[in-house]
Amino acid sequence: MSVAGSLLLLPGDGIGPEVMRQVRRVIEWLGKRRGIEFKVEEGLVGGCSIDAHGVPLTDETMARALAVDAVLLAAVGGPKWDALGFDKRPEAGLLRLRKEMELFANLRPATVFDALVDASTLKPEVVRGLDIMIVRELTGGVYFGEPRGISTLPNGERRGINTQIYDTHEIHRVARIAFELARKRGNTVCSVEKGNVMESGLLWRQEVIALHKAEYADVTLTHMLADACSMQLVRNPKQFDVIVTDNLFGDMLSDEAAMLTGSIGMLPSASLGAADAQGKRKALYEPVHGSAPDIAGRDIANPIAMMLSFAMALRWSFDLQTEAELLEQAVENVLKTGMRTGDIMQPGMAKCSTSVMADTILREMDKLVAA
Ligand code: NAD
């Protein structure tokens, strides 16, 4: 038995614990069937932490998140905590994790499984075979820039201010991740900004070009304005391989790309920090979806986004490519058999629960390793 590393599981709220339970089963499977063990801890984040400790993330859980090789988070939030102020809400726990782990790059794959090509609102020929990776800058830009706030002017009007700021090193470190990723995929990066109307966008473009010239000239680099990119994503999304963009545009474009795939219950994500001397990065893996309070506690949520987030962790934090592919392949094979949770249900398919979907995926993994 080899110990692959340490994991902190943060199931959170709503459907979080239900989908995280299925990842625990994959972890057990890896131990039993592949001799790969993880040191697994579990903690509270979001509403459940507010209920237990009065804060969305305790200092102790934060310290544990900083100490492990990877954090796996399901989802936070729900109507119970909606009335709380910004800094006391469940989401504040997630923001604190991102900030203190210095997770500056958010990786969002938008992949269309062949079996789900009809789930997209776009025509099958537009999305079949789609495989995009959006790299969004996560700790800078207009969501964090100062000055910010709402003030009252002498004439009694109110003014809201946010500031878009990027420094060279912030642009370089996220672009570097995009270039490295592209080298393992289609070798093409499209850098997206609004350099035609924003100085910060112009700087973004200039710095991406400088880094490309200095270190990544072998990768094909293109540039696109953010408004044009949002159009191209629905017109001809398969033209993209890796997209790198700032925090604000990345927020929108990654949601748009997510919708191309048809279901939010299918989409994983990874957030990465800087590499240490050993090349290890702080990393947080989470599904794109939220806590889905409307379906929580009924064993009907789709566990696939959470399971694929774990596949990303296997690949990026533990260098377990074979096991990541095994899990991804099992998901694809199960979808081909017609097994569906409610969110991706189509006529003629077999509707199943969260736990039955995971049972079937695990059985498929058994079959794949036996083959
Ligand atoms: P949501 O993603 O939770 O749900 C949107 C819709 O998609 C709902 O109809 C839901 O039932 C469905 N859905 C989501 N995940 C699903 C899954 N795995 N399987 C099947 N159906 C699924 O977004 P929302 O409704 O806007 O937000 C609900 C709560 O989640 C709010 O409190 C919000 O703040 C929070 N939220 C948290 C995160 C996060 O933790 N990262 C992200 C988004 C929203």
Query: Mind spelling out the 3-state secondary structure of 315-326?
Result: HHCCCCHHHHHH
Q: Distance between CA atoms of 158 and 317, rounded to whole angstroms?
A: 47
302 φ/ψ angles, rounded to the nearest 5 degrees: -80, 120
Q: 137 and 93, same structural domain?
A: no
313 and 208 fall within a common domain: no
At 279 the pLDDT is 82
In this structure, the answer to whether residues 61 and 182 fall within a common structural domain is no
Q: Quick one: which atom of ligand 1 is closest to the CA of 75?
A: 40
What CATH number did the domain enclosing 223 receive? 3.40.718.10
Pocket of ligand 1 (CB under 6 A): 15, 75-78, 91, 94, 264-265, 286, 289-295, 301-302, 305, 343
Residues 5 and 88 in one domain: yes
Question: Among 116, 291, 308, 357, which is best to mutate for testing ligand 1, by the most ligand atoms less than 8 A from CB?
Answer: 291
233 and 150 in a common domain: yes
In a domain, 63, yes or no: yes
The pLDDT value given to residue 276? 87
Range from 158-172, 262-276, 352-366 carrying the lowest mean pLDDT:
262-276
Residue 181 confidence (pLDDT): 94
Residue whose CA is closest, atom 17 of ligand 1? 265
In a domain, 88, yes or no: yes
- CA–CA gap between residue 182 and residue 189 (Å, rounded): 6
Active site residues: 143, 194, 227, 251, 255
Q: Would the pLDDT of 1 be above 80?
A: no
87 and 44 share one domain: yes
Per-residue model confidence (pLDDT) at position 3:
86
Q: What is the average pLDDT across 13-29?
A: 98
Q: Are 98 and 135 within one domain?
A: no
Within this chain, do residues 74 and 137 fall inside the same structural domain, yes or no? no
Same domain? For 285 and 206 the reply is: no
Same domain assignment for residues 224 and 279: no
Task: Assess if residue 143 is contained within a domain.
Answer: yes
289-313: pLDDT as tens digits: 999 999 999 999 999 999 999 999 9
Q: Show Cβ contacts of residue 31 under 8 Å, excluding neighbours closer than 6 positions.
A: 1, 37, 38
| CA–centroid distance, residue 293 to ligand 1 (Å) | 7
Q: Is residue 268 part of a domain?
A: no
- Six-digit token string for 134: 């959006």
Do 254 and 285 lie in one domain? The reply is no
Atom 43 in ligand 1: residue holding the nearest Cα: 290
Q: Is the pLDDT of residue 119 over 90?
A: no
Which two tokens mark 272? 């990465």
Task: Give me the number of domains the chain comprises.
Answer: 2
Query: What pLDDT is recorded for position 234?
Result: 95
Has residue 116 been placed in a domain?
no
197-216 average pLDDT score: 98
How many angstroms is it from 89 CA to the middle of ligand 1? 16
Q: Domain of residue 315: give its range.
A: 1-104+274-371
Cα of 147 from ligand 1 centre, angstroms: 31
- The model's pLDDT over 343-369, given as tens digits with 9 standing for 90+, comes to 999 889 999 999 999 999 999 999 999
Q: Is residue 42 part of a domain?
A: yes
Q: pLDDT band at residue 87, thresholds of 50, 70 and 90?
A: confident
Nearest-angstrom CA–CA distance, 239 and 331? 25
- Model's pTM, two decimal places? 0.92
Phi-psi map region of 5: left, alpha, beta (phi>0 left; psi -120 to 50 alpha)? left
Q: Do 164 and 256 reside in the same domain of the chain?
A: yes
22-51: average pLDDT: 97
Question: Letter for the amino acid at 245?
Answer: T
Residue 51 lies in a domain: yes
What is the spatial distance between Cα 81 and Cα 70, in angstroms, rounded to a whole number? 27
**What are the E-state strand segments in the chain?**
2-12, 36-42, 70-75, 105-111, 131-137, 145-152, 158-163, 188-193, 220-225, 242-245, 268-275, 281-287, 339-340, 350-351
Tell me what pLDDT residue 339 has: 95
